[in-house]
Amino acid sequence: MTLFPFDDRDGWIWLDGALVPWRDARLHVLSHGLHYASAVFEGERAYGGNIFRLRDHTERLINSGRILSFDIPWSADQIDAASNAVLAANGLTDGYVRPIAWRGSEQLAVSATGTSIHLAIGAWPWPSYFGTERMQGIRVGEAVWRRPPPDTAPVHAKASGLYMIGSLAKLKAEQEGYADALMLDWRGRVAETTGANIFFVIGGDLHTPDPDCFLNGITRRTVIALATRNQMKVIERAIDPAELPTATEVFLAGTAAEVTAVREIGAHRFTPGTITETLMRDYDRLVLQSPAEVVRVAG
């Protein structure tokens, strides 16, 4: 695998109110966000020059900060404009956009009182996350790590610290030859994969875990809207791992993953079918539409 270091590239990053050369976009090593995970972020994709559901992502970023007890000192309109400016400055029409907000270096202790809030936005080319396997179906392992209960972590924020267990699970899955890992919640119920929500076709209907301890993803909500438009029955509920053999189709939904078929979870095998293919096709069409049309279709 060829690596392209993210600290040594040409281009521009929006940092605290201005576009700066890529290599100059830096923070101090003693920043609170680095040591104590007091940071929130978003993952967004641009298609044909439009960042898909940009305002939804921006509002979630702002809300995630508030859940972590800080206010990002830029408005949603300003963040949207900065995101589009970064895309244009880097000459991109299609790509990945990453805003991140964090506490600064004024204080380095568990307490965060008095720290300033910073915001950076980067953008870069990023093709399909799972490549050709997106259509054929990826292999998913079973994670040892579980999603925490909502009274032990800010589970409804897209907080950097919550991705540590996902990163560990993803690393182990890849070492074992899988593309991703299925994560359970603290009760032992199906939650999600390391960075995407999951859907099952059971008895001809679409079933997906109730997001009570993980993010109700923006792509997840988009897929549910598309399924409803296709007269598909969508059931959000607790799903036990013992139900996996009853599923005929499985797919993931997320900004990076888009809609990706799953052909294997551990010892269980699945065949991508009509429902997966329909929603994948409709999602791929929707992301190329105007922002107004996206709102009309997906809310």
pLDDT averaged over every residue in the chain: 96
pLDDT at 2 over 60: no
Same domain, 154 and 279: yes
Q: How many residues does the chain have?
A: 299
- Which single residue is written with the structure tokens 């888009």? 258
CATH number at residue 105: 3.30.470.10
Q: What is the 3-state secondary structure (H, E, C) of 260-296?
A: EEEEEECCEECCCCHHHHHHHHHHHHHCCCCHHHHHH
- Calculate mean pLDDT across residues 164-184: 97
CA gap 255, 42 in Å, rounded: 10
- Calculate mean pLDDT across residues 182-190: 98
| Catalytically annotated residue among 158, 170, 172, 233 | 158
Residue-range definition of the domain harbouring residue 292? 133-298
pTM above 0.85, yes or no: yes
Same domain, 103 and 215: no
What would the two tokens of residue 98 be? Answer: 């990453």
Number of domains in the chain: 2
Q: Is residue 48 part of a domain?
A: yes
Residue 186 amino acid letter: W
Same domain, 76 and 145: no
The yes-or-no answer on residue 170 being catalytic is: no
Using an 8 Å Cβ cutoff, are 40 and 160 in contact? yes
Question: What local confidence, expressed as pLDDT, does residue 1 receive?
Answer: 45
Burial status of residue 39 (CB atoms within 10 A of its CB: 0-12, 13-18, 19 or more):
buried
- Calculate mean pLDDT across residues 18-25: 98
- In the listed set 70, 90, 124, which residue is the last one of a domain according to the structure? 124
- Give tens-digit pLDDT for 48-80: 999 999 999 999 999 999 999 999 999 999 999
- In the listed set 124, 157, 180, which residue is the last one of a domain according to the structure? 124
